[in-house]
Chains A and B, each alone.
Chain A
Amino acid sequence: MYQHTRFTSNNFSFFQKFKNFDYILLTCIVLLGSISLVTMYSTDGGKILFHTKSHFTKLIVFTLMMLIFSFINIKFWFLFGYIFYLSVIGLLVWTYLFGIKSSGSQRWIDLYFINLQPSELMKICIIMCLAKYFHRMKLENVNSIYTILTSLIIIILPMGLVIVQPDLGTSLLIAISGIAVLWFAGVNHKYFIYTMLGFLISLPFIISFLKPYQKLRVLTFLNPDRDPLGAGYQIIQSKIAVGSGGIFGKGFLKGTQSYLEFLPEKHTDFIFTLFSEEFGFVGSAFLLLIYAIIIYRIVAVGASSRSYFAKLFCYSFGASIFVYITINMSMVLGLLPIVGSPLPIMSYGGSSMLATMFGFGVVMSAKVHNQQAIA
């Protein structure tokens, strides 16, 4: 029976697929979605207003999308890997040419029902693309110049398109996603070490090429008290909010820092601050635990997958999600300079959620079809 399913690839029944679902992962995602909804309700000042409604709609739509994706055979995602990548590149070019400008950057495409941010989708698509690229590659070919150059081009092309928007934060996250795949694909660790060293050495030169506001962010990170009402304001207020939360927090809807509007961008990048202020250390640790379980489950799905593509995708996606969370939290906790990076699922924003749910969908598909071999 078992052998049978293993070798007759396309014959998963609907119920078997159901049985194969990763219910722990699904529960955690639904739990996280509910928490994000409650937090969003708090950012709206304890009323069901625009953000809560919109977030709720997106949550429902994208969760359904994830469920539908999980029934699609992992083979399908493998087949369309390059196509997804290329179409998002196309969208990025479109953004560059006809995108909507908002607060100094051109990141969005108007799709009438949603303003899409293709750079967010790229975070997932680059993993799919590179995973497919390395799927069939022999280990000894992985470290050939040709392979490395090709994969670097695959990474640098979208990075460049995102940097010109300008959106340094997202382009770095795309790079990290790409590099994660390279790492798991087996690119020689020396390259990583050399790149790291090279990056550190060239850091001062990079900083000199940064735009003034980006430089300011770095300087402010190094010393937030330099300009407490200006650039340092966000970091200081965020730390105050988190710190004043204490063990159990100030209570739901009682986060003074947020409802008195001291917190900047509380819907998006700083949503964890609000959550942490209202639910304290215990709540924050619980949230981190959920994220940890999700990542663990993603990795576990990867480990149980038969196909190399699925493994590569899951491991890299897990690592990427981990990096997104770490960067966002380090930023609001004052450990990293402010770079625009949302907290997956928690932050308000359709494109980010779409990308994350897309990723979860593919992971879930890998789990459902974990015995599927890809030739």
Chain B
Amino acid sequence: MINSSSDNVKKLNSINRRMFITGSLKFFIMIGLISRLFFLQIKENKKYLTLSDKNRIREWKLAPVRGEFHDYFGNIIAGNFEAYQLHIIPEQVEDFRYVIYRVKDLLELSDKEFKRILKKKKEKKPWETLIVSDNLDWKKFSKINNHLYDLNGVKPVISISRNYPYKDNFTHLLGYVSQANEMDIENSEMIKKNFVPGLKVGKVGLEKSFENKLIGTNDIERYEVNAYGRRISQLEFQKGEKGKNLKLTVDTKVQQLANELLKDKAGSICVMDIFTGSIVAMHSSPSFDPNLFVFGISQDDWQLIRNDPMKPLVNKTLQGNYSPGSTIKPIVALSALENGIINTNFTVKCTGKTEMYGQTYHCWKKKGHGFVSLRNAMKQSCDTYFYEIARLLGVDKLSETAKKFGLGEKVFGDLFEIEKKGLIPNTTWKKNFLGKGWLLGETIITGIGQGYIQTTPIQLCLMTAQIANGGYKIYPHIVVDDKKIHPQDKFTPLYQNSKNIRIVQDAMFGSTNEVMGTSYKSRIDDPKYQFAGKTGTAQVKKITEKDRELDLKTFQIPYEERDHALYIAYGPYKNPRYALSIIVEHGGNGSTTAAPMAKKLFKLIIDRHVLRNSINDNKYLDI
């Protein structure tokens, strides 16, 4: 008993000692836990709070509203419209199969489209929006709205999309928008910043050039999401800014007329203000409807455009390198006058053909023009006369004058990346690029705008404008308020003697308004509309002796072999204001095909001048 009791005491001592040790241990561990809590919750609180917000808050960007294009009179030529779309969130649909078949019936979807939608659905999470249709017409949209009662989970949505109300009228000028691809995102910081799936960006034309101004900024929606990415509630909506609107210098009426005149033809028309350099119209034909591209063009439509032999995808005004033909003659004449090679009394006898350096060069008129002076040569477009003065002048001097007047160089600089430079040849050029010496025969054909020489329609227009304004440099532009790039406080003269310009102007007047002039038939006698011009007919293939004997009419020649018809003009002759250039591919003859268009154009342009002037806030000095 004593023994056992002393053992009990020992046991109690032992257990109490150990309890004391354990108790202290517990105390310290408790302190440890508390300090860990303190560390996490108080010291590092900010860090974890940020992490927690990063977990739960997710941003959704919405496509920004694109800036509009307005013409000079404020008409919207590229705007936004409300596209009727149909969205489905599969998760919110009780019986997806039933609903989707119902929608298929209502929208009359083809099996192909239907399969595409089902495929798209498979790739998405059930709470992500499935776009069944991105551009419904009003009839179908209202049909869906009428049947909403048994289409649970189907959402009719109105979304903002690009719209070109004038369809094919401004296609080449404005370009078009379409879904941004990886290239677009890579090449532009702005697109990268504002990118959302389905964002439409400019692909060509001004839509592309001014992308950064037009794009605007995203609306941002902040949502609370759960661990699986499902939206729980909206926390914030940050309205984005609409892209900037751009006002262009173009006149929709003139542009429409240009489109009409070139209907079913391939070619280009451009009209320019000869003092300000404002582009009044710039059209390339054939055109196409840019609205087709907004929601992704269908394969059929795309093939139709791509395979058209008249090449609608080419902007002929800027990209078309054409032989200028006789439209170069004013520059040849001016160059000869400026360099003192000829004077107004200089005459050449035209017999219909001339032999130089062992080769025969033909004038367009078989019988020849007889003795011609400069004025008559221009008026009747005598080739022999220009062969002769080109020979006397030499190609290097000619190219110098031509370049001064804007040929062989991009008119808009970097504005359009597709713009071509054309080609003004000279001896060094040939040596450097073709590795051969210049032949004198080549100088001779350059004198009538054939051979190596190539110009774009916009260059011809600029050239004409600079002759018309008395020989002063202008800077063509298409966007109003875009003059920061081109300071034009002063007009720099391009001539050495202003008299020479007037001689050329007078010759061009004769060409249009006097009997025997090549475009006499297209003249307007009313001095209000009276214009001066120069026709051109550019060969696209070498004319053989056999062709000369046959002497076929235009309609008898196969389309691809017909000559290009060109015309440059400015008006009104007294107190001129506008210049234009017209080119009709394979149009046959400048005087019969191109010049009559100018008549119609000038009527309209000059009629609208007063209106245009009233809008002009005198930013530019009137001369």
A243-B44, A246-B41 known; A260+B49 contact, CB < 8 A? no
B57 to nearest A CB, angstroms?
9
1/0 contact string of B13-50 vs chain A (CB within 8 Å) = 01110110011001001100110111011101101110
For B57, the closest partner residue in chain A by CB is A256
B367 to nearest A CB, angstroms?
90
Which residues of chain B are within 8 angstroms of A240 by Cβ–Cβ distance?
Answer: 48, 51-52, 55
Which residues of chain B are within 8 angstroms of A276 by Cβ–Cβ distance?
Answer: 37, 41
A71 to nearest B CB, angstroms?
26
Contact of B232 among A245, A257, A260, A295 (CB under 8 A): A260
* Total count of chain B residues near the partner, CB < 8 A: 38
For B18, the closest partner residue in chain A by CB is A184
Contact B15 A311 (CB under 8 A): yes
Docked Cα-Cα span, A329 to B55, in Å, equals: 23
Contact A243 B45 (CB under 8 A): yes
Contact B34 A260 (CB under 8 A): no
Segment with Cβ contacts to A, from B221-229, B302-310, B469-477: B221-229
B8 within 8 A of A: yes
Which residues of chain B are within 8 angstroms of A354 by Cβ–Cβ distance?
Answer: none
A62 to nearest B CB, angstroms?
25
B56 within 8 A of A: yes
Contact B15 A284 (CB under 8 A): no
A61 within 8 A of B: no
Contact B34 A243 (CB under 8 A): no
Docked Cα-Cα span, A267 to B44, in Å, equals: 25
A222 within 8 A of B: no
B50 to nearest A CB, angstroms?
8
A330 within 8 A of B: yes
A139 within 8 A of B: yes
Which residues of chain B are within 8 angstroms of A244 by Cβ–Cβ distance?
Answer: 45, 48-49, 51-52
Dominant secondary structure of chain B at its interface with chain A: helix
Contact of B41 among A184, A243, A330 (CB under 8 A): A243
B344 to nearest A CB, angstroms?
87
A116 within 8 A of B: no
A240-B52, A241-B52, A243-B44 known; A184+B15 contact, CB < 8 A? yes
Which residues of chain B are within 8 angstroms of A257 by Cβ–Cβ distance?
Answer: 52, 55-56
Contact B49 A184 (CB under 8 A): no
A35 within 8 A of B: no
A259 to nearest B CB, angstroms?
8
Docked Cα-Cα span, A284 to B47, in Å, equals: 19
Contact B226 A261 (CB under 8 A): yes
A281 within 8 A of B: yes
Contact B19 A303 (CB under 8 A): yes
Contact B232 A299 (CB under 8 A): no
Contact B34 A239 (CB under 8 A): no
Docked Cα-Cα span, A312 to B33, in Å, equals: 26
B7 within 8 A of A: yes
A262 within 8 A of B: yes
A90 within 8 A of B: no
Q: Which of A280-296 contact B (CB under 8 A)?
A: 280-281, 284-285, 288, 292, 295
For A248, the closest partner residue in chain B by CB is B41
A138-B7, A186-B18 known; A260+B225 contact, CB < 8 A? yes
B430 within 8 A of A: no
B239 within 8 A of A: no
Contact A315 B15 (CB under 8 A): yes
A221 within 8 A of B: no
B11 within 8 A of A: yes
- The listed residue with most B CB atoms (<10 A of its CB), out of A139, A184, A186, A326, is A139
Docked Cα-Cα span, A302 to B16, in Å, equals: 10
Contact B14 A139 (CB under 8 A): yes
Contact A243 B33 (CB under 8 A): no
For B8, the closest partner residue in chain A by CB is A308
A367 to nearest B CB, angstroms?
16
A319 within 8 A of B: yes
What 4 A-B pairs have minimum CB-CB distances, sorted nearest first?
A243-B48, A244-B52, A260-B226, A261-B227
> 16 A–B contact pairs at CB < 8 A?
A183-B22, A240-B51, A241-B52, A243-B40, A243-B47, A246-B41, A260-B224, A260-B226, A260-B227, A262-B226, A284-B37, A288-B33, A299-B19, A311-B12, A315-B15, A330-B36
Interface residues of B (CB under 8 A from A): 7-8, 10-12, 14-16, 18-19, 22-23, 26, 29-30, 33-34, 36-38, 40-42, 44-45, 47-49, 51-52, 55-56, 224-228, 232
Interface residues of A (CB under 8 A from B): 138-139, 183-186, 237, 239-247, 256-257, 260-262, 276, 280-281, 284-285, 288, 292, 295, 299, 302-303, 308, 311-312, 315, 319, 322, 326, 329-330, 333, 335
Given contacts A240-B52, A281-B38, 4 further A-B contacts (CB under 8 A): A245-B45, A260-B55, A315-B18, A333-B37
